[in-house]
Amino acid sequence: MSFPPAIRRKFWGRDFSSPVMLASGTAGFGEELLDLQCLSGAGAVVSKAVTFNPREGNLPPRLLETPFGLLNSIGLANPGVYHVVKHLLPAAAGLPCPLLINVAGESVDEFADVVSVLEECSVHIGYEINVSCPNAAEGGAAFGVDPDVVLRVAQGVSKVTGRPFSVKLTPNGGDMVQSAKAAVEGGASAITVCNTFLGMHIDWETGKCVIKRKVAGYTSPALLPLVVARVWQVSNAVSVPVISSGGVSRGEDVLQLLAAGAEMVQIGTRLMRRPFAAGELMDEMKKLTGE
Amino acid sequence: MSAIRDFDCAVKHSEQMLPGVVRIVFDCAEIASAAFPGQFVQIEPSPDAFPVTRRPITINRLTKNGFELLFDVVGRGTELMAEMKPGDMVRVLGPLGIGWAIDPGSSWLLIGGGLGAAGFQFLMDSVVSATVLIGASSSDRVIPLEACHVVTEDGSLGGKGLVTALISEKLLDETDSIAVCGPVAMMEAVWNTIPEKHRDKVQVSTESRMGCGWGVCDGCSIPVSGGGYKKCCQEGPVFPGVEIDWKRWKEAGL
């Protein structure tokens, strides 16, 4: 790698003028962004998580801002894969940039089942497999913490699609490097590092949590060094590209993640604050590097 | 959904209106010309990294070249907003959401709880006839509105009691539309006070902990009748009262 890193990237055999991807859960299925002019500067969009059956999502409050970050407990709200295929993905055909579909499940088989249904669509270039959700069928721990489970999930997905897929790992428990290696062994074409960090907020006066499920996913610009370290570790351990996710609020953050070994860089919470974040980050990066 | 727009707006005026309640006027002709009563804006409290999200505030009224916000100072974000001075440039996204559904020529009954009435002025300026009922804990939580009927829990202004006591069959009969905004418990009490035959007239302005404000993050869900949720930011914040699942909404404790 040469430094400073190039803003133009090659990923999954395609040329990208921007490394910035809109992270799952912050961009709908892309179709919601079409008219909003938020996609200028975005290299790719990752859809909301799709599960086999519809999920209502968690009882609100689903968000809680803390002084230095944001807790979320959305609960993978989505209308289920058949609704997504029929009603949401057709509109995404007009996207000006590639779409990856994020897939979640409650059992090892569900990932492949969802991908099978999505295979009839041609609108997306690949998948992001969210192994950070709890494996309800096998004890409830996140799929991603057990390399053997990650391997089985990846193998299952490989069997039903020829499209590339990234496995999005969890930072909460387990050895991310071992899980990444297992994902690649199972056929993953990229690793997303990483999902949200487990967080919690308790009202010390009452002992109660505002968020009903108590623990939630934490995101923050302050997580940048944690993501940089994990991107560096994983990208040095696997042969497939790493997509970073988390910690970005400035153009220089994107450049740092690229320097750490990320091929593409996702933004999430920043996009919620700044709908035009992708373009803003690109402008900042171009100014910084002169590219 | 139409395009959203993000503006750098100049603070025109800022003052403490009531204890802990701040009034800010922003200059922004684009937002003023596009806004409808009941819509809100997303304010960036600081250009720094924190707070990481914006603060959604209902537009209280339009001004000559912009709009006015009234808000409670409740945390770090609104504290930073309270410190904004004339001339400061602030990032404002909006106008956002779906406001009050106004039939031309309709007469309105506005029922507000405390700071829930912030936003009523814009509605009053947009309809031909409005009767306003305000309930608050005490006089220092009452937003001054023209010709409104006030009750307070401590009796410090108007009669002593709850706003539900001001709702009469006669008022309900005379009105075409009813706007309700306030804390969830207050709105539920109002809803329960209004007889079935008048409930189709009721619209409620909801509030939720909000992430994006433009429909993508699914964070600000409001439980709706028949199951499921709607997005406060995009499908609301104003909903027909009959659409709300009051039981689950109260349970959420937003």
The whole-number pLDDT of residue A137 equals 80
- If we measure between CA atoms, which residue out of A6, A78, A61 comes closest to residue A282? A6
pLDDT band of residue B48 (cuts 50, 70, 90) is very high
The residue with greater pLDDT, A37 or B83, is B83
Taking each helix axis from N to C terminus, what angle separates A224-237 and A251-260, rounded to the nearest 10 degrees? 30
Question: Which is more confidently placed, B3 or A147?
Answer: A147
What three-state secondary structure class fits B144? coil
Region A111-130: mean pLDDT is 97
A213: Cα separation from own chain's centroid: 21
B93: distance to nearest CA of chain A, Å?
Answer: 9
pLDDT, tens digit, for every residue of B81-134?
A: 999 999 999 999 999 999 999 999 999 999 999 999 999 999 999 999 999 999
Domains of chain B and any CATH numbers: 6-96 (2.40.30.10), 107-252 (3.40.50.80)
Mean pLDDT of A36-56: 92
Q: Give the mean model confidence (pLDDT) for residues B198-217.
A: 96
Domains in chain A (CATH in brackets) are 9-61+76-195+221-289 (3.20.20.70)
From the list B44, B209, B248, which residue is nearest A63 (CB)?
A: B209
Question: In the predicted model, what is the mean pLDDT of residues B193-215?
Answer: 96
Q: What's residue A31's pLDDT? A: 72
pLDDT digits (tens, 9 = 90+) for A154-213: 999 999 999 999 999 999 989 999 999 999 999 999 999 999 999 999 999 999 999 999
Contact A273 B50 (CB under 8 A): no
Average predicted confidence (pLDDT) for chain A: 94
Q: How confident is the model at residue B178 (pLDDT cuts 50, 70, 90)?
A: very high
What mean pLDDT is predicted for residues A37-56? Answer: 93
Q: Which residues of B touch A35 (CB under 8 A)?
A: 1-3
User: Is residue A13 left, alpha or beta, with left meaning phi > 0 and alpha meaning psi from -120 to 50?
Assistant: left
- Is the ipTM of this structure higher than 0.90? yes
The answer to whether A8 and A252 have CB atoms below 8 angstroms apart is no
Give B242: exposed, middle or buried? Use CB within 10 Å, 0-12, 13-18, 19+: middle
Inter-chain touch A60–B222, beta carbons under 8 Å: yes
- Residue A133 catalytic? yes
Measured in angstroms, the CA of B181 and the nearest CA of chain A are apart by: 19
Q: For residue A28, name the pLDDT band (cuts at 50, 70, 90).
A: confident
More confident residue, B192 or A136: B192
CB contact under 8 A, A72 and B219: yes
pLDDT for position A134: 81
Q: What is the pLDDT of residue B252?
A: 87
Q: Read off the pLDDT band of B254 (50, 70, 90).
A: low
Three-state SS at B203: strand
Mean per-residue pLDDT, A268-273? 96
> So what's the pLDDT on residue B2?
64
Whole-prediction pTM value? 0.95
Please, what's the b/e burial string for A39-65 (b: 16 or more CB within 10 A of its CB; e: otherwise)? bebbbbbbbbbbbbeebebbbbbbbbb
Indicate the residue of B49, B208, B218 with minimum beta-carbon distance to A77.
B218
List C-alpha distances in Å: B245 to A25, A77, A139, B196, B207.
25, 18, 33, 15, 14
Residue percentage of chain A with pLDDT more than 70: 99
The secondary structure of B147-200 as a DSSP string is TEEEEETTSSSSEES-GGGG--HHHHHH-SEEEEES-HHHHHHHHHHS-GGGGG
CB contact under 8 A, B216 and A59: no
